[in-house]
Structure 1
């Protein structure tokens, strides 16, 4: 039995299921389930990180590693739906539900501000998944009262630069470290 409910043909690109789960169509017509990250997703999250190319891990985590440490996975799985939020995109892959993308934010020390990140599996890029995941995240941050979202990224991360620009983030190089870019969105 599938964990992803089937969308009807007449629903258009998005079928909202219950307020926290959505079936979304990517630009190529492929459907994914987007929902909040749950503790039961721990193994999927570990597998997702493991499947990322070394370059994707470098860009996402601002450094390289071969395997995610248990402490890193614990940090990524720490979701309380207010100060720490994450949405996963799930799709069927050879009969198994696979994580193909994730967006997340964490509150910063500055009241009303949160830091965000988005990662899409290498084989799922260029299909609009990052835009969909960030859209859900931005909407949730607004609902939770955040006024500003920032993303700290490698300055050479062209995919994030393009996504941030598309979503309306303002970009500047970090004055203390020009190898980093700071993307800021007023919510």
Structure 2
């Protein structure tokens, strides 16, 4: 995998995002495409719904570990519930026919004790293989460390080869889920 070029973050105006420095970043992906990366905001609810609705059946199955036909209000409520410390999400936005479209999201949520968080990353099917998942996960790992988490993990379908490659690239360890042989657990000491 090649590296993503990064620009300097913009200075933080107000600090509603806790340990996050800057409010948004313009990043250049491996293919030269620019994306705007920033914390998820309440105004992104419709973009999140459209993002999920555009995902392929396989991408939805891998992300939610089951069938999701559309973004229900209850699912959106859960996904939009961020506090920028225990529940965090970054979105990547790109221009598409004059509209800002959500093309990727990474998120974590505190799990069990306050030293662990469960993470997930999803990239739009037409934006895969450009380095976006790596970029979003690096931002997520960085903020999880700043927020005091010591371990990050994800529970993934064993058949999800893209996640296996991403996790290995980022240094996550992989093991079978002892409760479900169709799943694996990727974990990273922070």
Counterpart residue number, 1:55: 58
Counterpart residue number, 1:15: 8
Q: 1:89 pairs with 86, 89, 92, which one?
A: 92
C-alpha contact 1:116 1:149 (8 A) present in aligned 2? yes
TM-score by length of 1: 0.92
Q: What is the rounded CA distance, in whole Å, between the counterparts of 2:141 and 2:173 in structure 1?
A: 15
Structure 2 unaligned residues grouped into runs of 5+: 12-21
C-alpha contact 1:17 1:23 (8 A) present in aligned 2? no
**CA offsets per residue over residues 148-184 of structure 1, 9 Å max, x none?**
0000000000000000000000001112211001000
Aligned residues: 176
**CA offsets per residue over residues 118-137 of structure 1, 9 Å max, x none?**
00000000000000000000
Structure 1 unaligned residues grouped into runs of 5+: 1-11
After the TM superposition, which segments of 4 or more aligned residues of structure 1 sit over 6 Å from their partners?
none
Q: 1:77 pairs with 77, 80, 85, which one?
A: 80
**CA offsets per residue over residues 71-115 of structure 1, 9 Å max, x none?**
000000001001100000000000000000000000001230000
Q: What is the rounded CA distance, in whole Å, between the counterparts of 2:116 and 2:170 in structure 1?
A: 17
Shift of 1:15: 3.3
Of residues 113-122 and 20-29 in structure 1, the stretch that sits farther from structure 2 once superposed is 20-29
Counterpart residue number, 2:121: 118
Counterpart residue number, 1:7: none
Q: What is the rounded CA distance, in whole Å, between the counterparts of 1:176 and 1:84 in structure 2?
A: 25
Q: What is the rounded CA distance, in whole Å, between the counterparts of 1:45 and 1:71 in structure 2?
A: 13
TM-score by length of 2: 0.91
SS of the counterpart of 1:87? strand
Q: What is the rounded CA distance, in whole Å, between the counterparts of 1:65 and 1:84 in structure 2?
A: 22
